[in-house]
Structure 1
Amino acid sequence: MKGRRRNRNVSSRTGIFDPEDVKRVKHSTVGVWDLYEEKPQVLGFQFPGSSRLEHYLEMSRSLPYVWRMMKDISRVKNCWFLLTLYIAVELGSAVLPAASLWYSGQLLHIVQTAVDTRTVDTNLLMRISFGRIGCAIVIRLLSFAKSAISYPLIARLKQHYSVHLFHARARLDLPTFEDHAVQRQLEAASASSRGGIAWDTFSMVSSAVMSAVQIITQLSVLMAILREQLDGPLLAAIGLSHSVFEWLFSTKFLSLDSQVWAATTRNQDYIKMQGMKRLVSNPKHRKEFVACNLEEFCTKQFKEFTDRVGDKAGDFMEVLREQRFRDKFSVVSLMKEPWRALPQIVFTLRAVQYPSSIPVSLASLNLIQQTTDSFGFTVFRFISQFGSIADQLATVRKLYDIVTIPNRIQDGTVPFPEDTQKVKAGILIEFRNVSFRYPGTDAYAIRNVSFKLSSGQLCVIVGSNGSGKSTILKLIVRLYDVDEGEILIDGLDIRTLKLADLRRTVSVLFQDYTHFPLSIRDNIALGDPSDSVSDEHVRLAAKLGGAEEFIEKLPEGFDAYLERPVNDYYSGLPEGTRKLFGRPVDFGAVRFAGGISGQNDVELSGGQMQRLAVARSFMRSIVSEDSAVGLLLFDEPSASLDPTAEHDLFARLRELRGNKTMVFSSHRFGNLTRHADLILYMNDSTIVEAGTHDVLLKRQGEYARIWNLQAQAFLP
């Protein structure tokens, strides 16, 4: 069960958040949840509003990144022109409300003159009326213009920064990418929204600036109007104070009080209740659920859990929102409604005192109330925006910080190889007392491993699962660095070689291979990531890997997707529809609002998937004419193949490898070991025996014992 949810805005501060630290952490109960909030502290002490001040102090650290973002945006095609146009529209939208307010004040002045003199300047009334109507029309037109400009602007900025985010992920090495802290950092910098981080930042800052412009212009016009109206300042002050009441009452319960918080539930009934929901909802549990006849028991259990939890159950954010928006009794809430009626009471008292001015007073009251409500909303929106800007600028900093995350595998400086033709004849590999532990573990994956494999030789590493076979292959391509000892490639320390050069000379197929969410053609072609790959090369690699025959039988052939990255959407199809867009219709797919999302993935057997992986490894090592590969690494390449396919694969590998050095890892002692120049038998992370097949059989050690056990399985 996902008992905890992390705040989307991850704090950039260092240190540790300890829920048990009562001096720094406040605990409260929200339904079945325990909420822990860090008490705001700035400069070593706490005071009201210090958490918000801390946000503002963070802004100074983020401003250089904002400047960098603006320079990046300037390089996007036509972006500066669109941004300038957008700002001009925003500026017009900010000034026009004040102009509308001025025209409203002039209309009020005309009414005042009419009451005093019983005459109306018709020409002036028409000009003011048309001016007021014109402002309303222009405001609407500017709204359309703003929408029209923002659409291409958002699209270009998102496209530009999608490349930035792609590069930030692509550049990370394996141990760095696997770090949970790095994953959280990437997640924070990739927060999804309609416009992306760049647009959100620009629109938020521009909106705040325009709100300030709107406040200044409206305030100047409002003050001019109020000076001419009886009790205008008093009514405006009462109206604004009511807006303050509303703001204080709403913001008190809108959000968590601190930047850092965590929530968990220890209510076992609620936890089991959620587990039961997943049990009955997830298709992968349905087979056992039905076969074990769990319906009656689970329904009874679920009802008991819900009865015990009662009305405290609910998702954390849902319960928190309900609790903080709930109308609670307070002096502020008690005075809110009477204060709303206060302007009308003042107006009535003045109307009784000055009955002849009732028409003007009524118009003044209406104008002042509308204006103060609008003005108060603008002011509080600006306050809210200014507070959010600090968070948004911190997100910009995260966006650029991810491209400077240091990789743990340091690149070497020595080019490799010096002679490309020589490397095609194989690569020499030597391990000297190598020990290695995977990050975050204490157990050794391999311990004190030493061996030497000459250029062009075939090495087979055998042993049980978990003995360290795959780890040796990962270390040869420097997915990880050794903890102890050293690895030599053609006599050079592997850590001194340029990583790109080293990996260009190696073709590797791992046991835990994956297939990319691309077409079958692209899956194979990426074995040789270059622009010169042709369809003929792909077909040849598929043929050598034993995959061409079943690929040709697929409805879309080499264009079929194993995992289609973009789904089809459809709804209201007749029941007889079985194909759409050339793909099968999946009516069992997950429904969305208004239709069904179709997955349309191609399902292959384990053996077929492995043949595709083998074809991809052949793509660069054997098929490519410009191949500089001198070392072939295969990690359990026949694990999912039947005996016939395994025999054919090994026969092709021996035939096609030429003079290249080849290293296999396997837990099966098959025909391949007979042809090996070196066999390494591993157990418990160390090399127990080393030698050729004949030599190891004569020793009558562990290798010979396992060989004989496997051989007996095929004897009558």
Structure 2
Amino acid sequence: MRGRRKAQNRRSGTFDPEDAKKVKHTRIGVWDFYEEKRPILGWNIPGTSMVEHYLDMTRSLPYVWRMMKDISQIRNCWLLVVLYVFIELAHSLIPAASLWYSGQLLSIVQIAIDTRTVDKDFLVRISVGRMGCAVLGRLLGHAKSTISYPLANRLKQYYTVHLFHARARLDLPTFEDPAVQRQLEEASQASQGGVAWDTFSMTTSAVSTALHITSEVSMLATILKDQPDGKLLATISLSQSLLDWFSKSNSIDRGHGVWAATTRNQDFVKMQGLKRVVSYPEHRKEFVAGNLAEYCTTVFKEAAQRVGDQAGDFWEVRRQWKSRKRLSLASLLKEPWKELPQIVFTLRAVQYPASIPVSLASLNLIQHTASSFGWTVYRFIDQFGSIADQLATVRKLYDIVNIPNRISDGTLPFPEDTQKAKAGITVEFRKVSFRYPDSEDWALRHVSFKLLPGQLCVIVGANGSGKSTVLKLIMRLYDVEEGEILIDGRDIRTLKLGDLRQAVSVLFQDYTHFPLSIRDNIALGNPGHATNDDQVRLAAKLGGAEEFIERLPEGFDTYLDRPVTDYYSGVPEGTKTLFGRPVEYAGLRGITAMQSNTGHSLSGGQMQRLAVARTFMRSIVAEDSTVGLLLFDEPSASLDPTAEHDLFTRLRQLRGDKTMLFSSHRFGNLTRHADLILYMDDSAIEEAGTHAELLARDGGYARIWKLQAQAFI
């Protein structure tokens, strides 16, 4: 049976733990548990929970229909769908068929008692049919599992692409929005089969369970209509199963509903913190150096004494609390209710001794069917409650494709003249002001400058002065709040985003490395030439990375962070490596799977050289590159002085006529060659000019230049 999905369908509104009218507060050990009060008929029965929950199902139905149309487009999927539904429904009728054969056996017993004769041929056919139902049920179950594997995989593969596209299309401000992240997470929540498979299998299972219940009850009523006291016994037994279900539904901790838990016990909080101090490796050096062992042990012991036996993990404490609540009216009634069928049978046997064999067989059949019936009803109710949540997930799965981006696309193609753009691009800021989302501080304030085609500009200043923000705004990762940015004389917001970013190559200070091979990491600088190995190697050489890449065990095929994990179990501890990667023996021996350390560590300087190589691949190596503007954000932050000097020399030699803009807080000799230097401080441009002009002005730039120069005297 599938458990109900948790927290899938978040309602609108708020949950206020302090609202005593709507929220029940319970103290569980050191935990304060706040639970939304349920209606009087708050059992887990369709129709007694909030109407809004089920109205949500109707809003989700158009998306389910869209999903069915999408499934119809998947290769060979409809055939598997039809087969799966047929097998599921056929399998649901097996219990009713078995019940019919059992009823025929009762008839044979009744005839034998009344006439002292047995129709042997009929008995054989019924016996074979009864056993055939068991065999057929097993075969149908096997066929269902066989079909479900390829069907689930095809559905999952299709919607994996759907989710990938939904995430890939989002711009930076939209992607960083916590509400969007929650929406993406909710739409992606599913079992290994994915949202589509969960929805299809859950709905099919609920329908088959309803058919199972209906057919079994109908068949039982047909069989018992002529049996003495049969209806009475059936009613008692079935009601006993429902009573048992009510008892379980009130005692089992499913985690449904709206609730929250916290602890305000400062001693317990301190104990958890001290556990981390003595357990986490990153604290061990200062823990030992500070001679904290005796003090922390004393503090922990005193806190533990004050907390006493109230401490404990929330789930463990809540589970124990729920076990103490299992005594309910339903649980009290269900035990004596179990005895009623035996009492009725005994009274019947005393009055009519000749009917004992048939009554005994009827009683056994009824009790067996009632037990199965109770479990089936419980499963159906649980499934029905889950469908509303599941259908809401389907709606979210399709809604994420329509999440609007914050950065609107322009309409004008860029550049108008490709050859002209290769010779450099004009960049102009006019009184630009900008604040990052959810920040009240200005990252840039009234910034103005103009960079002509082919010029080399260096932005200098302390960390946090706004240097990196200038580069992000040129790439339109964010839009300005005030002022405007002009690219070749046109408002940057009017240009097509794809064209603009294709004409600009950028290396950010907080660069990333993808969980791909080193070759692919460099090649992604220019995806159109990703298969050109010669260009990848040339880019690595220009970036100063080729030498250390060749020394790696797998060279350009090395993964820095391998996205596929190696699993193994029971490996002798003498084994140091598997598949060329070191083995980590973490956790307890005997667990089913452990994973290897699948990455290769590089120094900060080596990682930065890879990032620079990717930029070379984009802007210089590709012969048909349309890049006319090069942006570098602290490109030498992790390089030693020799590597920094070599990098700047190569960049100046290879940039050709392209416009180049650097941001840096280390000047080196780069600023000597700059056509324009922008000295920034406190989110604004304080000084602008050439190296000689700014030194002559003897302002902030000259002061920092002299400070850095003195370090090498």
Of 116-125 and 282-291, the range deviating more from structure 2: 282-291
8 Å CA contact 1:38–1:258 kept in 2: the answer is no
Q: CA deviation at 1:630?
A: 0.6
1:444 equivalent among 442, 447, 454: 442
Once the two structures are overlaid, the 10-residue window that deviates more, 304-313 or 656-665, is 304-313
Structure 1 contact 590–597 (Cα < 8 Å) conserved: no
- 1:151 corresponds in structure 2 to 149
- Please state how far the C-alpha of 1:589 moved relative to its aligned partner: 8.1
Which residue in the other structure is 1:364 paired with? 362
> Could you list the per-position Cα deviations for residues 598-619 of structure 1 after superposition, in whole angstroms to 9, with x for gaps in the alignment?
1131111111111011011111
Partner SS, residue 408 of structure 2: coil
Paired AA for residue 99 in structure 2 = L
- The farther-off stretch of 318-327 and 348-357 is 318-327
Query: How far apart are 1:586 and its partner, in Å?
Result: 3.4
Tell me which of 646, 649, 652 is aligned to 1:651: 649
What is the aligned partner in structure 1 of residue 543 from structure 2?
545
- 2:678: which partner in 1? 680
Match of 1:4 in 2: none
Q: State how 1:264-663 maps to structure 2 within 5 Å.
A: 264-530=262-528, 533-587=531-585, 593-663=591-661
Equivalent position of 1:114 in the other structure: 112
Other structure's SS at 2:561 match: coil
**Does the Cα contact within 8 Å between 2:46 and 2:381 map onto a contact in 1?**
no
CA deviations 1:611-638 (Å, max 9, x no partner) are 0110111111011122111111100001
Structure 1 residues 273 and 90, CA, compared in 2 at 3 Å: closer, same or farther?
A: same
Give 2:130's aligned residue: 132
Alpha-carbon contact 1:40-1:258 (below 8 Å) kept: no
Identity, % of aligned pairs?
A: 71
Where does residue 76 of structure 1 map in the other structure? Answer: 74
Distance 2:422 2:210 in 1: 69
Deviation at 1:590, TM superposition (A): 8.9
Q: How does 1:141-180 map to 2 (within 5 A)?
A: 141-180=139-178
Q: Which residue of 1 aligns with 2:233?
A: 235
Distance (whole Å) between structure 1 residues aligned to residue 127 and residue 432 of structure 2: 88
Question: Hey, what's the Cα distance between the residues in 2 that align with 1:676 and 1:432?
Answer: 21
Shift in CA distance, 597/220, structure 1 to aligned 2, threshold 3 Å: same
Q: Is the 8 A contact 2:74 2:158 kept in 1?
A: yes
Cα deviation code 1:101-140 (max 9, x no counterpart): 0000000110111111111110000000000000100000
SS in 2 for 1:430: strand
The letter for the 2-side match of 1:118 is R
Bigger mean CA offset, 593-602 vs 358-367: 593-602
SS of 1:690's equivalent in the other structure is: strand
1:401-427 CA-partner distances (Å, limit 9, x unpaired): 111111111111111111111110111
Residues 1:265 and 1:652: Cα distance change in structure 2 (over 3 Å): same
The whole-number CA distance in structure 2 between the counterparts of 1:589 and 1:340 is 47
CA distance in 1, matches of 2:254, 2:97: 39
How far residue 533 of structure 1 moved from its aligned partner, in angstroms, is 3.4
Contact kept? 2:581, 2:597, Cα under 8 Å: no
Q: CA deviation at 1:158?
A: 1.2
Question: What is the CA distance between 1:270 and its match in structure 2?
Answer: 2.2
Counterpart residue number, 1:93:
91
Deviation track 1:288-319 (CA, whole Å, cap 9, x = no partner) reads 23333333333343333333333433333343
The CA RMSD over aligned residues, in Å, is 2.1
Q: Is the 8 A contact 2:550 2:556 kept in 1?
A: yes
Shift of 1:706: 0.9
Q: CA deviation at 1:258?
A: 6.7
- Indicate the SS of the match to 1:628: coil
3-state secondary structure, aligned to 2:528: coil
Whole-angstrom CA distance in 1 between matches of 2:619 and 2:389 = 49
| Structure 2: distance between partners of 1:529 and 1:264 | 50
8 Å Cα contact 1:564/1:601 also seen in 2 = yes
- Residues in 1 aligned to 2:135 and 2:9: alpha-carbon distance in whole angstroms: 44
Aligned residue for 1:546, secondary structure, equals coil
1:265: Cα distance to partner?
A: 2.0
Where does the alignment leave 5 or more consecutive residues of structure 1 unmatched? 1-6
- Measure the CA separation in 2 of the matches of 1:66 and 1:179: 27
Q: Deviations over 1:465-496 (max 9, x none)?
A: 00000011000001111111111111111111
* Other structure's SS at 1:51 match: coil
Distance between the aligned counterparts of 1:505 and 1:290, measured in 2? 55
- CA separation in 1, counterparts of 2:386 and 2:332? 30
The CA deviation at 1:230 is 1.0
Residue 183 of structure 2 is matched in structure 1 by: 185
Q: Is the 8 A contact 1:158 1:196 kept in 2?
A: yes
The amino acid across from 2:352 in the alignment is Y
- Report deviation, 1:86: 0.5
Using a 3 Å threshold, how does the CA distance of structure 1 residues 158 and 624 change in structure 2: closer, same or farther? Answer: same
Report the Cα offset of residue 75 of structure 1.
1.3
Unaligned runs of 5+ residues in structure 2 are: none
Task: Provide the TM-score with structure 1 as the length reference.
Answer: 0.95
Q: What CA distance in whole angstroms lies between the structure 1 residues aligned with 2:650 and 2:545?
A: 13
